[in-house]
Structure 1
């Protein structure tokens, strides 16, 4: 599934430039992806799109007033306030692992990942079968969340998400 997501990201730089699911499925099939991979990726992208509905993308909007996902108002999940502390469930800790949780925390501390986007990243990561999730796969999810939101990460963040750690020299 992740190979399909990377292909979509690389070929449709903006989420709104992506073709409709049927046409995208045909294009992916023509590029040699397996039907099961395509189906899983399209379902994952559809669920990502649903999660992104109502996300405050403009500055100045109070994120705590916006619900995330398809849930009804009675049991809706509110976007966290900026000073909230996120406590990860045991299932989230097992699924994401220490390396991915540390990377999410790093992005939050750097001011790159808002609480609302973090929740979507976690929800989309939990929707995968990888356990514990590899950091490279989490980075793909982060790229896809930014891609879907229309928010282009700055160059340093994009470099961190796209570049491997191999060959880096610590200063």
Structure 2
């Protein structure tokens, strides 16, 4: 399902193209994705949009986050550290962090790694027109084409 989400984001949502459910399903199926994964990805993204529209992502800040055992077992340590870094860098609010965690836990995978969390964070912030902050940090942290000091 995660691959479908990434494909949808790269080919539709990033370009602000929002085809209806039937058209999207047909195009994703033609691209080689399984119908169950397509339905799961569309439902996953619809929940993300509904939560953002409901104002969940703009709620106030909480001071301290204790992760549940299920969250710790599913979301790896690098991913949790990365979310904490983004929150400390003021790229991600605590409410947006909760949205990232919710959407990570909603994935069918048994383990969520750094790549998945990076994509989920990008989708959450893109959905709120805040992706440029994240992309700046992402580029600074993960760009392998850093200049060399002589």
Q: How big is the shift at 1:149?
A: 2.1
Query: Matched residues in 2 for 1:17 and 1:114: separation?
Result: 27
Q: Match for 1:91 among 66, 70, 82?
A: 70
Partner deviation per Cα, 1:12-48 (whole Å, 9 max, x = no partner): 2448532122221111112121112111111111111
Partner residue in 2 for 1:51: 51
- For 2:123, the equivalent position in structure 1 comes to 144
CA gap of 1:15–1:21, structure 2 versus 1, over 3 A, is farther
TM-score for the superposition, normalised by structure 2: 0.82
Matched, 1:157 2:103: no
Cα distance in 2 between the residues matched to 1:19 and 1:150: 19
Q: Are residues 136 and 28 of structure 1, via their aligned partners in 2, closer, same or farther at CA, if it must alter by over 3 Å?
A: same
What is the aligned residue count?
A: 147
Judging by fraction of residues, say which structure has more helix: 2
Q: CA RMSD in A?
A: 2.8
**Which residue number corresponds to residue 75 of structure 1?**
none
> Would the alpha carbon gap of residues 84 and 15 (structure 1) be closer, same or farther in structure 2, given more than 3 Å must change?
farther
Q: 8 Å contact 1:80–1:116 — kept in the other structure? A: yes
Question: In 2 relative to 1, CA 23–157 (structure 1 residues): closer, same or farther, beyond 3 Å?
Answer: farther
- SS in structure 2 opposite 1:17? coil
Q: Which residue of 2 aligns with 1:108?
A: 87
Match of 1:124 in 2: 103
- Counterpart Cα distance in 2 of 1:93 and 1:148: 26
Q: Is the 8 A contact 2:48 2:124 kept in 1?
A: yes
1:37 aligned partner: 37
User: Which deviations, in whole Å up to 9, do the C-alpha atoms of 1:82-118 show, x marking residues without a partner?
Assistant: x611121122111112111101001111111011211
Divergent runs of 4+, >6 A: none
Q: CA deviation at 1:164?
A: 7.5
